[in-house]
Structures are given as structure tokens and as C-alpha cells.
Amino acid sequence: MDVKALLQQIAGGTVTPDEALARLKAAPFEDLGYANVDTHRHLRQGAHEVIYGAGKTAAQIAGIVGAMAGTENILITRVSRETADELAGRVDLRYDPVPRIAIARPKPIEQPIGSVVVASGGTSDIPVCEEAAVTAETLGSRVARLYDVGVAGLHRLLARLETVQSARVIVAVAGMEGALASVIGGLASCPVIAVPTSVGYGANFGGVAALLAMLNSCASGVSVVNIDNGFGAGFLAHRINTMEGCR
């Protein structure tokens, strides 16, 4: 429930105090039987609930979106093309197949703020990068992409040094040995969020090698999220980017 909108409706006389009270009785969540939709998430955290799409049917996702009345730019992560196609027949939807993110009731962000940089070690890391970038953009951050700037050709990153050093927060995404996060951490004065990916050969162990390398980074100011967790990195980047004192 959008409490601010409800208060505006009361002030405008389109909703009576008794009607508003009846709506608020259902807060802070709505029980759909298969999901408890957190209607007060935005009040507590500054962002509406994000729907994890994997394992959910299109009907279930549509029901959750329906319970989030008045909410725009609802992020739905890890959605297959098939589910997205079916869901598009039920709700207003925009789908990006690269990060597998759908956005229900999409609305352009008129004034994105700050500066989030998302950098990838290689082209194969782009799906995870885009999950981070689209998440941060949908929440309202301005995002710059630096793709395929890994340590095998360090000059590619150094050529974009101005972008790196002007960022408020950087998401460094890499598989293989995961060295990109340490390199960026040594070049930037802002927080760096490292994202290990499952990209790599056998001894990469599905991203564990990159994860351990990032956890052992010698660069200060580097934090690490889970393997392939572009969403978590993008959400955290947006939160850092919009903190008071960082604007």
C-alpha cells in the first residue's frame, strides 16, 4: 500500500478517514495464501518489495503485483522468457532477457541520481552485470557500464580511469580468478562491491575461486556479495549511492 498516496487522497477528499482506516487494517502485509506481500517495505527501507521470480508461476507473480496497488517499477528478478511472456498478458510489463529481469508497471526515471559504475572482467559476465545495472537504474540511480575491462588487458580499464574515480560506488563483476575487484579497489576512493561469477574453467569451481579471491582482496574498501548475485550488488550500490552525505 502506498501510504503517502492514501494520505493525499484523504486530504483531497476522495477517500474518507473510515475508508482509509479499513485499508490500513490490512497493513503491513497482505496474505495471498501463497505469499505474504510486504506492503510497508518502502516505508522501512526506501524501496518496494522485489519479487524473486524463479520458481513462481505467472499467475502467482501477477497476484503479488496486483497486491502492490499504486506501485510502479516493480522489479521481478530471475524470470524466464516463457514466464515473462505469459505474465505480459496479465500485467503491464517490460522484460530484459539478458539479466532475466522483468519490470511491472514500468515508468521512466526522469532524474536518475548519483553515479554507480558497473564493471565487468569479461563479456561473459555481462548477464550478472546487467542484473546489477538494471536493478540500480530501476531504483533511481544513474549507472555507467564498463564492460570487458578485465586484468588480462589492464589498459582497457585505465583508459576509463576518470569514470572509475568519479563514481560514488562501483560494482566490480568478475569470474575466473576475480582479480578485477582488487584492481578497481586500488584505483577508486569510493566503496567497491565485488561480485564473483560462475564464469571460468574447472578449477574456478563455479565461482568459488573468484569468491575466495575477492574475500581475500588486499585493497581497502572492497565488500563481497554472493556468487552471481547481481541483484544484491545493484540494490546495495543504489543504497550507498543515495545515502545522505553521499549525494
How far apart CA 54 and CA 61 sit, in angstroms, is: 10
Hey, where are the domains in the chain? Answer: 23-104, 113-241
Question: What is the value of pTM for the model shown?
Answer: 0.88
What mean pLDDT is reported for the chain? 92
Q: Which one is the CATH code of 113-241: 3.40.50.1970, 3.40.50.1460, 3.40.50.11890, 1.10.4080.10? A: 3.40.50.1970
pLDDT at 246 over 80: no
pLDDT > 90: percent of the chain? 79
Q: For the CA atoms of the chain, what is the radius of gyration?
A: 20
The string of pLDDT tens digits covering residues 58-116 is 999 999 999 998 899 999 999 999 999 999 999 999 999 999 999 999 999 999 999 99
The mean per-residue pLDDT over the stretch 151-172 comes to: 95
- Report the DSSP beta bridge partners of residue 104: 74, 93
The string of pLDDT tens digits covering residues 43-53 is 778 889 999 99
Alpha-carbon distance values, 153 to 67, 108, 209, 247 (Å): 49, 36, 20, 33
The string of pLDDT tens digits covering residues 13-39 is 998 988 887 777 767 888 899 999 988
